[in-house]
Structures are given as C-alpha cells and as structure tokens.
C-alpha cells in the first residue's frame, strides 16, 4: 500500500500533465500554421479551423490581436470579444493582463494552459492558448479547448484498480503472515494456556508434545517437569496441613472443654465472665487456625456478601475494649456506614490483626475509621506510636518480617495475613503515616454497588489516585 497509493497519485498527475502538454503543443502548432496571413475571417479560415478541431480533438478558436473571434470550430462565438478578465489564458496569449480596476496592461505574450470548471458545459475544461506572432509582434491568438472529464474518469479508474491490486496484495500477505504466525505461535499459546490452568489450581495440567521448533519442544518438556514437581510439592504440603490441623485442633478442643467445665463450676460472677471470655477467645483462635491453614493450602473459604464496615468496626471495638483498658488505652470508632462486597469473617480477622498490631507497637488510643471514596470503601486502623519507617512500609506485610525495634513475642504474620485476606477479596492494603504521627493502615475494598454516587468526604489518609 505504501507503494501503490503514491503510484496512483503520481499516475493521475502524469496523465493530466501529458494532456496539458499535448493541448499546448496543438495550440502552438495551429498558431504557427495560420500565421498573420491566415487571420482573415471567412470560409477558408473556418474550414481550416474545423480540420484542426478534428485532429486535436477539441474546440478551436482563432482571434485577432483585439480578442475578436474570427473563426470557431463550433461556429458559436464568431464575432464575440474573448479578451476579457474571465479568460486569462487568452489575455496572456495576447500579451495583456487584467488590472484590479478591469483595465488591461501590456505584458509579454506567452502560450499557457489552464484548467477550469465550465458552468455552461458542467465539466472541467482544459484551455490552451498560444499567440499568433508576426515578426515578434502579437497578431492574434489561438485557443484549444478540451473536455477532460473523460481523462479524469480514466485516471480515476486506473487509480482505483491500482489501489484494489494493492489491497488484494495486502490481504493476501496478511493471510499468509497470519497462517505462518499461527503455526509458529500455536505451541506458545498452548504453553500459555497450560501455565494459566496450572496457576488456577489444575495440578493435572500438562502440555505434552507441543511441536514446533526444538527450543519450543524443550520448553514444553521443562514445563511438564516443573508441573510434576509442583504437584508433588502441593500434595506434600496438603498432607502436612492436614496433620498440623489435627495436631492443633486437639489441644484447642481439650482447652475449650476445660474452660467450659471451669465456667460451669465457677461461683464468682466475675470469674465466670472471665472464663466465658476465654472460651470465646479459644473459639476465635480455632477459627484463626483454620483460616491460616486454609490460606496455606490455597483453599477459598466463605463467599462474598454485603458487609457493613461500620458494624465490623463496632464489633472489633467491643472485642478489644477490655484488652485495651488493661493496656491503659481504648479503641474508638468513627466514620459513616460503608457497605463492601467481601466476607464478614475474613474482615473481622483483618481488623483483629490490625488492632493487635496497633496495641503491640503503638501507644494511645486505637482509632478505627470507615468511609467511602468513589467506587471503593475503606476501613482504616490508626495508632499513635512511632509509626513505621518509610523504608519498612513495603516489607512489614511480608510473612515473618519484623522491623527494627519490634517488641519480642510477635510472629511477623499479622499484617501478612491481613494483606492476603484483603487481596483475596479484590482489595488492597496500604500503610501511611497518620496526621500527627503514628501508623495508619488502610484496607480498601470494592463497594457493594459501584453505580451509586457517594457524597462521603475523603478520609484523613486516603489517596485519591489509588487504583480502582
């Protein structure tokens, strides 16, 4: 196409230029053949002009030096004055130029050709005029008129043909290239599909003989070897998880039975309340163990539902209120209701980990804020401690990572579990510095109804450009 389009354009220009040259040469030849002696109106000149018109072919007019038509092959303009500003080609041949006020000034006479649209014939006309000279002086002029619509139609037809040939060549080339590319890419597409299935959890996925080049075949064999090792490792991990689950659940069950028995035998109301609280904590610990094991085994538990983040915050404040009082602080909540599409149990686990982290590392009250920004909702937990250094903010959500100056006794799993559970429901967890110090950890989730328009204010540490 890069060759055919310029070729078609150049062909049209060349064809028109050739027609112009032929018409100009015809006008000059006729002017030379007539000469000064032939510029006499009468039957002889009319017959001569008619012969010239058949040879051109076209219309031929002969004028004297004043622009008066002496002969016309169409016999229509004899006696008319063609030296007007509307016919610049004739004025140029007579050595005249039209001034702005309509008067004429003398200029050197030249043969010239122009193309203009004729309202009378409703077509493009090629007009070539040449002077009739007598010893260097202008004695008259000859004009040859040709209708070039036929030439334009032929050029247009040839242009369309060339472009169609180019298009057919392009389509044929693309078809060949597509077939060749498909044969080369098919093994890679097969490998890509297999990798996607393996990543989605289909451990039986294998590519077998993918064909193609030797390098691609080697890649397919390496992929199947990797898949075999991966399947063995996953099966071994699941066996370990099953055994660990049994070993962890057994002492928790025994502890729960002892607490229930002690609660039933307790006479002191305060002791009974404490034992009941401990029993609930054992239940929550068992649920946490189950969820950690499920995460390790890549098992999705629960389903998405509409969860009010405000209610999640209030429940967390109630659960952690007594612990916070023992540490000389409190857990507060703020912000409007914001409904997310997530799992309530997972969200409780996330908030618990964030509060536990705040109580362990921070001082002062733990603030839980909820709200909405655009088509996302957030739940933020802020403490008033020393904060998390910027260099460590990207690492504290890694499993078993413990920052410098961290108190003893932690496992480095709390924020990692919170991040995994957040991403499990299509959200993201970010860490910023709270206004006035401390760490602010934000959990951003999908809003329950993305089409709603929120009027909530932007949260304290929210990032307006956070990806949706």
Q: Write a three-state SS string for 292-357.
A: HHHHHCCCCCCCCEEEEHHHHHHHHHHHHHHHHHHCCCCEEEECCCCEEEECHHHHHHHHHHHHHH
Q: Sheet holding 331-334: strands in order across?
A: 331-334, 366-373, 376-382, 439-446, 428-433
What percent of the chain clears pLDDT 90, i.e. is strictly above it? Answer: 14
Task: Please check the confidence at residue 458 and state whether its pLDDT lies above 80.
Answer: no
Task: Please check the confidence at residue 456 and state whether its pLDDT lies above 60.
Answer: no
**Residue 170 pLDDT:** 82
Tokens of 91: 């004025």
Confidence band, pLDDT 50/70/90 cuts, at residue 403: low
Give yes or no for a cis peptide into 57 (omega within 30° of 0).
yes
**Residue 405 pLDDT:** 56
CA distance 339 to 316: 16
Is 3.30.70.1350 the CATH classification of the domain at 305-446?
no
User: Three-state SS string across 9-49, please?
Assistant: HHHHHHHHHHHHHHHHHHHHHHHHHHCCCCCCCCHHHHHHH
Task: Please check the confidence at residue 331 and state whether its pLDDT lies above 60.
Answer: yes
Is 3.40.1400.10 the CATH classification of the domain at 4-147?
no
- Please enumerate, as own/partner, the contacts of 264-273 that have beta carbons within 8 Å and a separation of 24 or more: none
CA distance 399 to 229: 24
SS3 68: strand
Q: How many CB atoms lie within 10 A of CB 291?
A: 19
Contact 398, 416 (CB under 8 A): yes
Task: Please check the confidence at residue 116 and state whether its pLDDT lies above 50.
Answer: yes
Task: Please check the confidence at residue 199 and state whether its pLDDT lies above 60.
Answer: yes
Give me the helices (H) in 213-308, please: 214-265, 269-296
**Residue 302 pLDDT:** 54
Confidence band, pLDDT 50/70/90 cuts, at residue 463: very low
Tokens of 438: 């401390």
| Domain spans, the chain | 4-147, 214-296, 305-446
172-204 in b/e form (b: 16+ CB < 10 A) is: eeeeeeeeeeeeeeebeebbeebeeebeeeeee
**Mean pLDDT, residues 42-69 taken together:** 89
Q: Which residues contact 129 (CB under 8 A, 6 or more apart)?
A: 27, 89, 90, 92, 93, 111, 112, 113, 141, 142, 143, 144
**Mean pLDDT, residues 186-193 taken together:** 82
C-alpha distances (whole Å) from 385 to each of 326, 351, 362 are 17, 18, 4
**Mean pLDDT, residues 299-309 taken together:** 71
Q: Which residues contact 329 (CB under 8 A, 6 or more apart)?
A: 359, 363, 364, 365, 366
C-alpha distances (whole Å) from 118 to each of 15, 145, 148, 156 are 21, 11, 11, 20
Q: Which of 316, 349, 354 is nearest to 439 (CA)?
A: 354
Q: Which residues contact 297 (CB under 8 A, 6 or more apart)?
A: 237, 238, 241
Q: Which of 81, 80, 111, 70 is nearest to 94 (CA)?
A: 111
Q: Which of 395, 387, 399 is nearest to 436 (CA)?
A: 387
305-446 has the same fold as 4-147 = no
Task: Please check the confidence at residue 131 and state whether its pLDDT lies above 90.
Answer: yes
Task: Please check the confidence at residue 14 and state whether its pLDDT lies above 70.
Answer: yes
Task: Please check the confidence at residue 295 and state whether its pLDDT lies above 60.
Answer: no
pTM above 0.75, yes or no: no
Tell me which residue has tokens 């016919």: 87
Q: How many CB atoms lie within 10 A of CB 59?
A: 20
**Higher-scoring residue by pLDDT: 285, 29:** 29
Confidence band, pLDDT 50/70/90 cuts, at residue 411: low
- Tell me the CB-side half-sphere exposure of residue 362, using CA atoms within 13 A: 28
Q: Which fold has domain 214-296?
A: Helix Hairpins (1.10.287)
Highest mean pLDDT among 30-44, 148-162, 206-220 belongs to 30-44
Roughly how many angstroms between the first and final C-alpha of the chain, as a whole number?
Answer: 43
Task: Please check the confidence at residue 298 and state whether its pLDDT lies above 70.
Answer: no
**Mean pLDDT, residues 279-299 taken together:** 66
Between 153-157, 212-216, 460-464, the lowest mean confidence (pLDDT) is in 460-464
**Residue 457 pLDDT:** 43
Q: Indicate the helix (H) or strand (E) that contains 430.
A: strand 428-433
């Amino acid at each position: 196409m890069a060759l055919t389009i310029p070729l078609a354009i150049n062909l049209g220009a060349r064809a028109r230029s050739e027609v112009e040259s032929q018409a100009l040469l015809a006008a000059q030849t006729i002017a030379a053949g007539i000469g000064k002696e032939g510029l006499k109106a009468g039957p002889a000149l009319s017959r001569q002009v008619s012969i010239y018109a058949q040879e051109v072919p076209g219309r031929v007019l002969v004028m004297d030096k004043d622009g008066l038509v002496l002969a016309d092959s169409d016999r229509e303009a004899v006696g008319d004055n063609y030296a007007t500003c509307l016919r610049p080609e004739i004025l140029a041949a007579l050595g005249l130029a039209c001034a702005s006020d309509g008067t004429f000034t003398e200029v050197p006479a030249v043969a010239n050709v122009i193309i203009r649209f004729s309202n009378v014939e409703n077509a493009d006309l090629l007009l070539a005029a040449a002077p009739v000279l007598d010893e260097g002086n202008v004695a008259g002029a000859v004009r040859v008129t040709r209708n070039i619509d036929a030439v334009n139609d032929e050029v247009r037809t040839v242009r369309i043909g060339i472009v169609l040939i180019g298009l057919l060549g392009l389509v044929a080339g693309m078809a060949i290239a597509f077939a060749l590319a498909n044969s080369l890419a098919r093994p890679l597409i097969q490998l890509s599909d297999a990798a996607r299935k393996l990543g989605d959890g289909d451990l039986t996925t294998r590519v077998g003989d993918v064909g193609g080049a030797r390098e691609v075949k080697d890649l397919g064999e390496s992929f199947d070897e990797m898949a075999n090792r991966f399947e063995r490792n996953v099966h071994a991990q699941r066996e370990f998880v099953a055994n660990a689950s049994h070993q962890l659940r057994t002492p928790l069950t025994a502890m729960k039975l002892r607490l229930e028995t002690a609660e039933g035998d307790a006479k002191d109301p305060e002791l009974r309340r404490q034992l009941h609280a401990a029993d609930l904590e054992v239940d929550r610990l068992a649920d946490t163990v189950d969820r950690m094991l499920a995460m390790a085994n890549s098992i999705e538990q629960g389903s998405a539902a509409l969860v009010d983040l405000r209610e999640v915050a209030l429940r967390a404040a109630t659960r952690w209120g007594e612990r916070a009082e023992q540490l000389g602080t409190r857990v507060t909540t703020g912000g409007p209701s914001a409904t997310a599409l997530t799992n309530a149990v997972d969200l409780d686990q996330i908030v618990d980990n964030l509060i536990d982290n705040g109580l362990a590392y921070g001082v002062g009250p733990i603030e839980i804020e909820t709200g909405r920004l655009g088509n996302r909702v957030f739940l933020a937990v802020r403490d008033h401690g020393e904060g998390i250094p910027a260099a460590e903010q990207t690492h504290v959500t890694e499993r078993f990572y413990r920052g410098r100056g961290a108190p003893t006794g932690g496992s480095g799993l709390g924020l990692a579990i919170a991040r995994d559970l957040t991403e499990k429901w299509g959200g993201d967890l970010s860490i910023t510095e709270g206004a006035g110090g401390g760490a602010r950890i934000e959990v951003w989730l999908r809003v329950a109804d993305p089409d709603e328009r929120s009027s909530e204010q932007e949260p304290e540490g929210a990032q307006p450009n956070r990806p949706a």
